[in-house]
Structure formats: structure tokens, C-alpha cells
Amino acid sequence: MEIYCTRPGCPRPVNQYPDLDDKATLKASRQRYCTTCGMELILKDRYIPLKLLGRGGFGAAFLARDRYTPAMRLCVVKQFQPAGDLTPDQLHLAQNLFEREGEVLEDLGKHPQIPDLYAFFEIDPPPGGAAGQPNKFFYLVQEYIDGQTLEEMLGRTGTFSEAEVMQLLLEILPVLKFVHESGSIHRDIKPSNIIRRRDGVYHLLDFGAVKQVTSGAAVGAQPGRSTGIYSMGFAPPEQMRGDRVYPATDLYALAVTCVMLLTGKDPADLYDNYSDRWNWRAYAQVSDRLEAVLNRLLQAAPSQRFQSATEVLQALKPAISPSKPAHSTSVQAAAQPVAQPIAQPAVPPAIPQPAATPSPRPASPVPSPKVQSNARPAAITQPPSGKRGSHRVARSLSLGELIGSAAFTGSEGGLVAIAAASLLGTTALTWLIVTGVAIVGLVIAQYLRWIEKVDLLIIEAVTLGIVAFFPALHSVPSVGLTASAALSQILPVLAPLVILSGLGVVAIALIFRLIYTLLSRLL
């Protein structure tokens, strides 16, 4: 059996104990210690870490087994691991957030779609750690949800359909209703904090950022204000400003999550800074009803959104049923009774908004880096810088985008092939290698969106100009000719080759798209 050392910075954390493969030996075994740093491996003489699930924020998460249960059930062990550059106030706040997550899970874990809390304890580590490490390690043990987060699903299978998003809303909104009615605001709704279990049931994760609204201000915050904890790209304006948060704060983040799933784009790419408005509808195929509901949830002012998960479910009710969503063309615009934030001063009544009017909000947000399911407590973030993040999400291309991308790749590959043949000779192997590397590089650059849209036309025009006007890069001599004469002699040779190359790659891309579509429907 492999046991993973939980001491931060251990150079060789994986420890091999073949004798523990026997279940009876494992249950009766005495404490084992890391062969590298001496850290005790069986936490509280009960929980056996098997592997690292992820790190982020102020913690690390490990997949573990509870050896004191009949089936040695799997669980998730979270360890509080603050960064070394925190100020004393930030460290104190981070520790309080970690402890709060345990308290919240103990209370909210009774809901079947929220992980249950199994244990919360601290350990005095033996000597052997790096300088500056804390004198105590804090651990939280919770239920293990075997499945994929929405972020992982989006990266692997591409955008969600309207029916899939409707099903997500139908399952997660009642969970949020339970959280809000229990006197809490999650404050960190995003794709990496919602997981779909293998049986298809959605669960809500990561309650380290929860604000207990019934107990006044959060630890470290001024009275009546919120701590600066949020995931950029998903937090609404009031949360980014550190103002009071409401149930509508979580609903805003859920709406951002939905438009990200529908479009496959980062929130930063869906928010137009120039017009100061959300611009997601052009990238998604949805009914007018769902569009109107999401747009209202994305309003900048909390009072202009739906005020509770129940209101959202009522607005979606005509569009969804237990079996499938029923598309509709309108949404009720009449003002509904406003549910006031729990133990907060009342906000003005909800103002109905036109369905097609996106909401303004502060500077373009950037989503936080991905953390695996159950991987961390919430992070304290710095004010947004306004820069686009490097995090990208794989997405499905529309047919038009696919054809345009394939045509660019093929024609650009044809120009590179002409230049390679002119410079390196007509050796088939050399020509194929150079051209293949160029095409692969172009595909990767487009997949990562280093180049897109107008970039493709600019690159194509520049490459064509270089190949056409430099005699060494093409086989048709143009030395001594005027520019117009050279083009009239060169383009009739280059154009057919470039066009044929582009059409060839388009044909290949369409064939692969057809095969993929057929397989996805059959499997």
C-alpha cells in the first residue's frame, strides 16, 4: 500500500508499505511514519492518506481511507496549509475560514447534496519539517464525492446543452435554497465547486468562504460588510466591493456558471468592457425564457435580480419538467414579492428588467485557477487587475468556426509548404516534416486561443505577402519585375495551391466532425 505524507514540502511523500495491502493487517497496524521526514502517516491513528487530490488557496486535499469503518470507506482529508507570505491578520482570517468550513459542514452536511463532515482535529507534527512551518497542523475530514466537477466536464466534453443546464439548475437551486434558509451564503459558486456524482446527482462543494449572515459580520470584516473573499469572474459587484452579500449574490455566481457552461468561454471573454455589459447570448443556443432568467440574475444591483432560489425555480417552471425542458418564448416580467436577505437590512423591491438587457458590472473579471473537487478552502483574493487570465476552457466550435479555422490552417500550411520546398528542396520527407510541424503548431495555437478571429486573416495576409514578394520562397522568378507584374505572374501559381490546401483540410475537419457526432450519439 502507498501512504501519502501530509507534511507540506516533504521531498518524497509517497511511502510504500506492502504488508498493509492485507486488510486485517491494516486495521490492526500501529502508527507508521514517513521514511523521509518522520511525519506520522495514519492521521489520528485512523485516516490513511492515499494520494494528493489538489492544492490551492490555504489548503491541500488528500484521498484517504477510514480504517475504522467496516468497508474502510473513502473520504477526503483537507489540511490547512497557509502560504508563507501571509500577514498575521490574513493568517488569522485564513485559519478562521478553515475552522468555519468544519462548522458549516457539520450543520449543512445533513443535506444529501452537500458533503458530510466526519472529523475535525489538529496534530502536533514531529520535528523534521522545513523552517517556518506551523507548530500545529489542522485537518478536516469529509465525505468523498466520486465524480467530475463542472469545470472538468466542460474541459473534457465541451459546452453544455440547454437541457443539461436546466437539469443543473433544477438540482442545485434547491440546495442553495436550503443553504440560504439555514442562514448562510456560499459566496464561491463556480464550476469547480459543483460536482456531478457518477450516478448523475449534483453536489455543492467548498464551504470555506461561507458567510453566516445571522451572526453579523464575518471574521476580520467591518460590521455590516463582507470579507474580501471571492473568485474573480463569478462574484457580483457587491461582493467584490466588500459590501453585504445576499442570496442573490450566490444566484449571480450560478448564472455566470451557467453562461460559461453554455458558451464554453471564460467570464472575462463574455463581458464587454467597452459597452460595460454581458455579451453571452450570441455564443449559446437557448430559449428566450432561459435567456431572460439568466440576464435578470446577471443584473449589477442585488435588488434587480431574483431574490431567492425559489423565485428562480418559479420563473423556470414552465420551461422545465422532470423529463425534459419545454422551450418557451417569454418570461414573467411582473415584479414578485422580494425575499429579504437573512438577518440583513431590507433591499428595495426587485425591478423587472427586459429580458434582453444585460447588466453592467465592474471591470472584466478573470476566473480563478482550477482546483480539483474538495481540494481547498476559499482563497483570499486581491482586487482585480483587469487583465485577462491565462486559464482557458476547451469548447466546442460551431460549424462556421470549424470551417474558418480549417481553411486558415490548410491555406497557411500550403504557404509554408511552398516556402519549405523552395528553401529546402523537394525532398518529400523534409517537406512533410516542416509542413506537419507548422500545421500542428497552428492547430495548438488556435486550440489555446493564442490566435483567433481577425488574427487569422492578418497572419494569412502577412504570410502570403512574404512568400509572394521574396523570390527565394517561391519557384516563380520575380526579380526585376514591378510589383504589379510580379503579382500577376506569381498569384496564378500560388493561389490554386493555397486554395486546394485549404479545401483539403476543411474536408478532413468536416469528416472528423461527422464521425465525432455519430459516435457521440451512438455511445
For the annotated catalytic residues, the residue numbers are 188
Helix, strand or coil, per DSSP, at residue 3 = strand
- Across the strands, what pairs with 78? 61, 140
Grid cell 473513502 — which residue? 74
- Across the strands, what pairs with 212? 184
Q: Say how far apart CA 160 and CA 18 lie, in whole Å.
A: 44
CB 80 within 8 A of CB 137: yes
Residue 382 burial (10 A CB sphere; 0-12, 13-18, 19+)? exposed
* Pick from 408, 435, 419, 417: nearest CA to 474: 419
Q: CA-based diameter of the chain, in Å?
A: 90
Helix axes 162-181, 309-316, angle to 10 degrees: 150
Percent helix, strand, coil in the chain, to 5, is 40, 15, 45
How large is the C-alpha radius of gyration of the chain?
Answer: 28
DSSP letters, 34-56, are -TTT--BSSBTTTEEEEEEEEEE
Q: Say how far apart CA 285 and CA 462 lie, in whole Å.
A: 35
- Across the strands, what pairs with 101? none
Q: Say how far apart CA 94 and CA 229 lie, in whole Å.
A: 10
Query: What Å distances lie between residue 301 and 49, 183, 236, CA to CA?
Result: 45, 21, 9
Residues whose CB is less than 8 angstroms from the CB of residue 162 and which lie 6 or more positions away in sequence, other chains included: 262, 284, 285, 286, 287, 290, 325, 327
Alpha carbons within 13 angstroms on the beta-carbon side of residue 17 total: 25
* Pick from 22, 287, 65, 71: nearest CA to 169: 287
